[in-house]
Structure 1
Amino acid sequence: MDSNLFFSFTTTLLIIIFFHVSYFPLPSFSLRIYSEFIYPNFTTSNLQYVSNTGAFLTSQRTTFKAAIIHHEPSEEVADFYFSIIHVESNQIIWSANRDSPISNSDKFSLTSNGFSLVRENGQRIWSTPPFNSSVRALQLQESGNLVLIDNFNRTIWQSFDHPTDTIVVGQRLPVGTLLLSGLQNNVLTGNYSFMLIDHDAVLQWNSDTYWKISMDTSTFKDKNSPVAYLMLNGTGLYLCGYANVVVFQVILNYSTAFRVAQLNYDGRFTIKSFLNKQWTQEFVGPQKDCLIPNFCGAYGLCTEAVAGSNSGTCTCPSGFRSKTGTRSCLPPNASSLPPACGNGTRLSSSQMVSYEELSTGIDYFSNAFSTPILSGQDLLACANICSRNCSCLGYFYENSSGSCYPLNNQLGSFLTVDGQTDRKGYIKTIVSANNKNEKKGKNPPIVALVLIPTTAVSLLAILIVVGLFAWRKSRSKKTKEVKLGRPSSNNSVEIDTFSIPGLPVRFDYEELDKATNNFQNKIGSGGFGDVYKGTLSDKTTVAVKKITNSSNQGKKEFCTEIAIIGNIHHVNLVKLRGFCAQGRQRLLVYEYMSRGSLDRTLFGSGPVLEWQERFEIAMGTARGLAYLHSGCEQKIIHCDVKPENILLNDHFQVKISDFGLSKLLSPEQSSHFTTMRGTRGYLAPEWLTSSAISDKTDVYSFGMVLLEIVSGRKNCSTKTQTHSIEIDSGSGGDSSSSTVSIPLYFPLYALEMHEERRYKELADPKLEGRVRNEEVEMLVRVALCCVHEDPSLRPSMANVVSMMEGGIPLGTPRVEGLNFLRFYGRRFTEASNIEGSNVGNVFALFPQAMASSESTTTGSYGSLSYMSSQQVSGPR
């Protein structure tokens, strides 16, 4: 071929190819789908795997896949989620970022530090927590478990430990771990939860229980033991104890089909299996529509469509009206619903509280599962409590027992009970002055009770006080006749008052006296008493707390501690083995924790706590507090979170102790409880003002403890600095050095280092650099979020756990909400200079220092100058 012709042909071909590529792009090719393993320095996005429906990793036999996908059915939604999916059924069994959606161009990234979801601008949306060893691989197992493996082939993280709304065969759900529902056609977390408690599994709506698995007729109880975990397998659903003993079981037909247990968006817990391309529902609870808390919407009334059927029909209670476009109902035209609780919520002078009386035969779902806040009282007592509490939306009064059941925070549906209870419901409404006359005659008994003249109430209060004073004086006289530690016939009644169902083992005083060798081996001090090591007759080592405060408050706290700890079991809460109430002696018998309290290990001169050990201690403490706040049937606030109340065993397992300052709060009490005391240095600002005490008070204390775990020192301490000094000796300048101790308020130092992003400088110097900057950053950021001055800015303990586990993104501390730390730090420095080097006394000056502040922070500190250090900390 002529060379010129060949050249011309080649040039023409290249031009054709160029124009074809320019105007008709080449078809996209999907990237490789990996089987079972991917390795660090792997990055992808949905855009890269769009032709594979977002999947880039499968299990060995392609039973499951990992993908970045839409959860919502609408393709118009731009939200994507990293999920694990059962391929054949397309069932999503786990999602990493259900409350933090990403775009289809955002990245999934696997590095030696873990895996994360990252925006195009580098912002981290979700990630696994920091680890003590490097990641070698990410594995998707045939069980559906997503696992991170280190260089020693050890599992350092797995998705099975962090379920969303679903568990699969072989997956365990431990006590205190939640399944959280989604929303209809939306993956955002809903208001329903499923969780294990000490002797059952419960469904809750906004923390109110409405169903227990033990209620279902297909559930069989095998043992009367505490529950440790729930497991699903080919034959059924099992609730097992700590020795793998079966406590409850739901027997299902044996099946090799794919089976899941799921908390649905509608609040039902279901078990279903997938076979031959179709789902079969095997278990559902509750079955009845009217047992679902919000089936008929707020203030709606659910009635069985046919007596004994599972389906329900929705109407409005008599006198209420339908809310347009919803199932919910509204009160009569003359009334309005109470405003939502908030700072400064109060009624105007032209408004008054009234109550709409519900018809007979109407009940509320939570009444059967809750403990009344009052018993043996009249209707007036219920009305007065609800009227004073902005979170109370009404109450049910049980005439036969004089019990009061409040309705708090958010109201769901009522249900018809056909006269099975003598409880009567009253719904709070706000009536303006213009409508007062219309309300007269409607329900005069309730209005009249609430508006009793102040003078009459005052007179009644005086009579009660006088009566109580006389009774206490008489009782005190009788008590003097009882020998210390020795019961007699006179105190048999007192002992009987502690015979409450569910109490742990009762010990004789003589038995505990012998076990502790006459209380010789003192191992610590806690709220209201000292702690002694003892050995019971069965050779079990225990810790015995001897209550030394015999005042009425001490007895009250003693009873509270028994009622709370004796019926709660969690791996991160100390177990109460028994108690003694004999004569004036009050003792508690705990399981023994061999390493004692965290303060000894953290601040002592023993071996240095490594960073991973510190992280596990912080995590265990957070989980224990989260269980107290949201895992129990009723919220429990510890109120004295500090290193002395965090105990460790030989394996550094954490257990929170000393509930002597705790109160079992019903919801309406939680916003008005102001009589408790904690410990100086861990007290939230609201303790020192008239602000409400809530679970966020514990969150603040935990944040302060977390900073001490990071630094290895007390938050109020001294820092050693060395200065060089030039000395003029006449023949040249000599120098010498001097060491001085300067006061350091560590929370302020942490805030300043956070602002400069110099986190590693905050770590305990004894670690000698054996920690990464990002590991310190995580705990410091969590801690600073916890110590915001405004409680509403603090995360819940459940969210703290999720942040530390990597389930949700790390919070961002708001500097404006932490400026009060600058004031605290300045006052601490001033007080330290006054007191010299005796930093321990500085705490006592804090209230007075704060009282003199002209700061504009929330609350008034004026009254603090009249509070002693003993008043602030409580008895010790």
Structure 2
Amino acid sequence: MASNAITWSANRDAPISNSGKMSLTLDGISITDQDGAFRWSTAPLKASVSALQLTEMGNLLLLDQFNVTLWESFRYPTDTIVIGQNLPLGLLLSSAVSSGDLSTGNYRLAVSASDALLQWQNLTYWKLSMYTKAYTNSNYAVEYMAINQTGLYLFGHNGSVVVIQVNLSPSEFRIAKLDYSGQFNVFSGSSLKREFVGPDDKCQIPFICGRLGLCSDDAASNPICSCPPNFHVISNSADCVPSDGSYSLSVSCSSTDNNSGSNTSLVSYSRLGYGIDYFANDFTMPVKSGVNLSVCEDLCLADCSCLGVFFENSSGSCFVLQNELGSVMSTTGSDGDRLGFIKTLVGSSPTNGNNNFNGQALRFPIVGLVLLPFTGFFLLVALGFFWWRRSRISKTGKVKLSYPTSPSSGELDSFSIPGLPVRFEYTELKDATDNFNTQIGSGGFGAVYKGTLPDKSLVAVKKITNLGIQGMKDFCTEIAIIGNIHHVNLVKLRGFCAQGRERLLVYEYMNRGSLDRTLFGNGPVLEWQERVEIALGTARGLAYLHSGCQQKIIHCDVKPENILLHDQFQAKISDFGLSKLLGPEQSGLFTTMRGTRGYLAPEWLTSSAISDKTDVYSFGMVLLEIVSGRKNCSIRTQSHSIDDDTSGGGYSSSSSGPPQLVYFPLFALEMHEQGKYLEVADLRLEGRVTSEEVEKLVRVALCCVHEEPALRPNMVSVVGMLECEIPVGQPRLESLNFLRFYGRRFTEASTIEENDGQDDFMLYPRANASVSSKMSGSPTSFSYISSQQVSGPR
């Protein structure tokens, strides 16, 4: 049945002319342009290719001599899937730019553990479960999406359970396509008759009316685009800008353009008015609740990526618009309670060719002739002064920022910046550590030793190994960044050493060690208030990294090993800002994800953008461990008692039931649903903690581990919830169903292969695992690896 529909493209972002050439070799398919230049090829294969086959389903196969499939196009979808093709967790459909340009566009369809999502700029704007005629079963996690002769489905439990179902008229030919317009369509028959579309309301499409365009529906459900009050359309564009020419739209600091709005004294807000809402507001959590409009505006003012806010009067909720502005839409009913404000800059950009110079430009030559000799003289004097200063500084070794060209180069020996951490000589640190005699920790970067400086102060000296050339270049930059960061809940960098091949970092000494040793060790049990203070201190440190620094820092490896404790159990975060130090020798560990498995957010798997919400997820997992007093993968008896043999931090149960491995985040979710919060708490605290106290931390933790990053609170809000300044959020169960999937996978895999005493379980399918392997629940779908193998420095 010929439909002439394009369902797959090999090199959509590097098109070639009709004169290009496709070749089939023993190594696979390769494409060259008319000049013979290489443009695309299949990935390296496990065996030589014997045949190329196009199946009746539309799957392009490469086969070996035994007809075993080496490669197939179904595993590399573009914007379309067909009958017989699955779209599993971790793969995406990406729209084209236009009907005539198949390059990757701005819209994508992602399959999560609970739904199928349409996204723009990493913001969700539609879910399959929103379709009114869809059947849903929230008891199982989604594993893949597929279409067949009877409809559109999301399957779980190895394909045996339907999680979401959309029934359609029977058809032998059907395709599902993410259109360049941002709508997800299902077509059937050779004529490609459209039988399903989402969203059906085009005003829900993020960029339907351009930047800040106001979308409203007419009786025929066709979008009508205009501009909000106080805005007008730019000529030759669909974008809307302030009508008052003395104001211009702010530019996000994430843009490649210069952000002229960095001077907060020049920032203002243009009001959109009631009855206007933003597409993403119903899919994101407010950054603050129970505040007034002034606080909401101040939050945006302090964030250079914020381009506007929506304030909900009834709840005092503040929603922020970040990085990129889409269209806005007319609303009715309760949504009209939100009031939007767009950040603008006082002072417009030049719009005409003469730049308002008028006749003044004509007088420039005369003025220039007078001033030019004086200007040139002062420039020569200034250049001479800087040349003299630079030569003198180079001789004294105070400021010399040259990078090494080889690992053995000593060009960094003279690196020093006044006001930043002290630069130590290698012999000084060797003496301070008694020739690196007392090792107190180790990690992916090397070992950590206890030392005593001449002033009798204790330090922890991290001896970094295997940096590689790029790591050495990044070393100075990282020193400059983290050396200027000071917060009571961040471990202070006291100094460094860059001498020859040696690279060492000197930190303040934390006398109580890392949180994992205190929490999971055999020492005295942490009391509840001590746990709360540790959680609060960690949250404050992360909030500072995310929003208190001049440059946002994402830790990417939040875990108990990287939370150090000082006197009175004061928590301090370590190893922030060091991810760039990894050299090529270690980079293979982080090909698809970075951090420690067991604390990794789901977006690592779906190749979504990594943001500060990734740290929020890891903090939520750590918070569950703080509440329970043991690791998130433990042994449970029938009485729910825990005994984690791998950590020593558990406690024996006197009940008789057979022990079984349990994925604790799922257990915490189930106890939350049943209201049995004391079952989640460390049983060693029996009688010394109330259900209400445990409920608060469990709810905060579950909000932090929402599958969708936009639903997680930011760390500033987490601090507010822990300090009781804002109401504790209510976890959204539909965004936590993925925990059931991970829990079942953990239980199934753990019955086949022992843990071998390692710390962390990898609960995500490997990036290079086959789709059938992922769906079958085979033990090869999972990787068991210790935290020390993949984590950063301790």
Q: Taking structure 2 as the reference length, what is the TM-score of the superposition? A: 0.50
Match of 1:291 in 2: 204
Superposed CA deviations along residues 113-156 of structure 1, whole A, max 9, x for unmatched, are: 22121346664322221122222211100110011112332212
Asked if residue 115 in structure 1 is aligned to residue 24 in structure 2, the reply is no
The structure-2 alpha-carbon separation of the partners of 1:97 and 1:190, relative to structure 1 and needing over 3 Å to count, comes to same
Residue aligned with 2:96, SS:
coil
- Contact kept? 2:80, 2:176, Cα under 8 Å: yes
2:782 maps to which residue? 653
> Could you say which residue in structure 2 is the equivalent of 1:428?
343
User: How much has 1:265 moved relative to structure 2?
Assistant: 0.8
| CA displacement, residues 57-115 of structure 1 (integer Å, 9 cap, x when unaligned) | xxxxxx6xxxxxxxxxxxxxxxxxxxxxxxx2211111110001123333212222221
Q: Measure, in 2, the Cα distance between the counterparts of 1:350 and 1:518.
A: 55
Q: 1:517 to 1:172 in 2, by over 3 A?
A: closer
In the superposition, relative to structure 1, how do residues 653 and 426 fare at CA in structure 2: closer, same or farther (>3 Å)? same
> How far apart, CA to CA, are the structure 2 residues paired with 1:434 and 1:314?
25
> What pairs up with 1:489-528 in 2 under 5 angstroms?
514=637, 522-523=645-646
Report deviation, 1:248. Answer: 1.4
Q: Which residue of 1 aligns with 2:109?
A: 194
Structure 2 residue 369 is matched with structure 1 residue 240: no
Q: What pairs up with 1:231-310 in 2 under 5 angstroms?
A: 231-244=146-159, 245-256=161-172, 258-275=173-190, 278-306=191-219, 309-310=220-221
The residue type equivalent to 2:26 in the other structure is S
Distance 2:249 2:786 in 1: 42
Task: Check whether the contact 2:250–2:260 (CA below 8 A) recurs between aligned residues.
Answer: no
Can you list the C-alpha shifts for 1:793-831, whole angstroms capped at 9, x where unaligned?
xxxxxxxxxxxxxxxxxxxxxxxxxxxxxxxxxxxxxxx
Distance 2:349 2:59 in 1: 63
Residue in 2 that maps onto 1:214: 129
- Residues in 2 aligned to 1:126 and 1:232: alpha-carbon distance in whole angstroms: 29
Please say if residues 574 and 655 of structure 1, whose CA atoms lie closer than 8 Å, have aligned partners that are also in contact.
no
Distance, in Å, in 2 between the alignment partners of 1:383 and 1:597 is 53
Alignment of 1:457-472 (within 5 A): none
The CA distance in 1 between the partners of 2:778 and 2:82, in whole Å, is 33
- Per the TM alignment, residue 385 of structure 1 is displaced from its structure 2 partner at its CA by 1.8
Q: How much does 1:346 deviate? A: 5.6
Give the alignment of 1:748-787 within 5 angstroms.
Answer: none
- The aligned counterpart of 1:833 is none
Q: What is the Cα deviation at residue 431 of structure 1?
A: 0.7
Q: Contact 1:259/1:271 (CA < 8 Å) preserved in 2?
A: yes
Q: Is the 8 A contact 1:338 1:390 kept in 2?
A: no
Cα distance in 1, alignment partners of residues 706 and 652 from structure 2: 19
- Give, in whole Å, the separation in 1 of the partners of 2:295 and 2:656: 46
Distance change >3 Å, CA 177–CA 655, structure 1 → 2? farther
Change in 2 beyond 3 A, CA 1:299/1:334:
same
2:69 corresponds to: 155
Partner deviation per Cα, 1:192-217 (whole Å, 9 max, x = no partner): 11121111111111211111111112
Question: Structure 1 pair 389/349, CA: closer, same or farther in 2 (3 Å)?
Answer: closer
Question: CA 1:260/1:354 → structure 2, altered by over 3 Å: closer, same or farther?
Answer: same
CA distance 1:682–1:556, shift in 2 (3 Å): farther
CA-to-partner distance for each residue in 1:658-699, whole Å, 9 max, x for gaps? 8xxxxxxxxxxxxxxxxxxxx99976xxxxxxxxxxxxxxxx
Say if 1:336 and 1:431, in contact at 8 Å, map to a contact too: yes
What SS does the corresponding residue of 2:77 show, helix, strand or coil?
Answer: coil
Contact kept? 2:135, 2:166, Cα under 8 Å: yes
- The residue aligned with 2:661 is 541
The answer as to 2:452 corresponding to 1:329 is no
Q: Give the Cα–Cα distance (whole angstroms) in 1 for the partners of residues 181 and 743 of structure 2.
A: 40
Residues 150 and 156, structure 1, Cα contact 8 Å, conserved in 2: yes
Equivalents in 1 of 2:757, 2:767: separation in Å? Answer: 11
Assess if the C-alpha contact under 8 Å between 2:300 and 2:308 holds in 1: yes
User: Contact (CA 8 Å) 2:663, 2:747: kept in 1 or not?
Assistant: yes
2:141 touches 2:737 (CA, 8 Å); kept in 1? no
Query: Of 313, 332, 338, which residue of structure 1 is paired with 2:224?
Result: 313
Amino acid at match of 2:164: F
1:571 is displaced (CA, Å) by 13
Q: Structure 1, unaligned stretches of length 5 or more? A: 1-62, 64-87, 436-464, 466-482, 495-499, 579-587, 602-615, 628-647, 659-678, 684-872
- Is the Cα–Cα contact under 8 Å of residues 522 and 532 in structure 1 kept in the other structure? no
Cα offset for 1:326? 2.6
Partner residue in 2 for 1:695: none
Counterpart amino acid of residue 169 in structure 2: N
How far off is 1:411 after superposition? 0.9
Residues 1:136 and 1:597: Cα distance change in structure 2 (over 3 Å): farther
Q: Which has the higher contact order (CA 8 A, sep 6+)?
A: 2
Asked whether the equivalents of residues 705 and 736 of structure 2 are also in contact (C-alpha less than 8 Å), the reply is: no
Provide the secondary structure at the position in 1 that maps to 2:149. coil
Report if the CA contact (8 A) 1:533-1:541 is conserved. Answer: no
Post-superposition shift, 1:547?
Answer: 11
Equivalent residue number for residue 818 of structure 1: none
In structure 2, relative to structure 1, the CA distance for the partners of 1:512 and 1:389 (3 Å cut) is: same
The 5-angstrom pairing of residues 766-845 of structure 1 reads none
Residue 630 of structure 1 aligns with which residue? none
Match of 1:102 in 2: 16
Could you tell me how far apart the structure 2 residues matched to 1:365 and 1:128 are?
38
| Structure 1 position 507, deviation (Å) | 11
C-alpha separation between the residues in 2 aligned to 1:321 and 1:150? 61
How far apart, in 2, do the equivalents of 1:160 and 1:170 lie?
9
Code of the aligned partner of 2:118: L
The 3-state SS of whatever aligns with 1:381 is helix
User: What is the alpha-carbon root mean square deviation over aligned residues?
Assistant: 5.1
Give 1:517 shift.
Answer: 11
Query: Greater CA deviation, 104-113 or 162-171?
Result: 104-113
Matched with 1:352 is 266
The aligned amino acid for 2:176 is: A
1:534-580 Cα shifts (integer Å, max 9, x gaps): 99957643366999999xxx9999877644557589999996649xx
Structure 1 residues 531-610: aligned runs within 5 Å: 540-542=660-662, 562-565=702-705, 567=707, 577=743, 592=750, 594=753, 596=755
Residues 90, 316 of structure 1: CA spacing in aligned structure 2 closer, same or farther, 3 A cutoff?
A: same
Matched, 1:138 2:52: yes
Identical positions, percent: 37
Counterpart residue type for residue 30 of structure 2: S
Shift of 1:281: 1.3
Q: 1:299·1:412 contact (CA, 8 Å) conserved in 2?
A: yes
- 2:641–2:652 contact (8 Å) kept in structure 1: no
Distance 1:650 1:92, change over 3 A: closer
Distance across 1 between alignment mates of 2:740 and 2:647: 15
Q: Does the aligned pair in 2 maintain the 1:534–1:542 contact within 8 Å?
A: no
Give 1:381 deviation, angstroms: 2.3
Per-residue Cα deviation, 1:303-339 (whole angstroms, up to 9, x for no partner): 1213xx5222111101101111232211122201113
AA matched with 1:315: S
Q: Aligned with 2:50: secondary structure?
A: strand
SS of aligned partner of 2:194: strand
- The one of 382, 394, 397 aligned to 2:311: 397
CA contact (8 A) 1:357 1:427 kept: yes
1:348-427 equivalences in 2 (<5 Å): 352-421=266-335, 422-427=337-342
Count of aligned positions: 465
Rounded to whole Å, the distance in 1 between the matches of 2:626 and 2:262 is 53
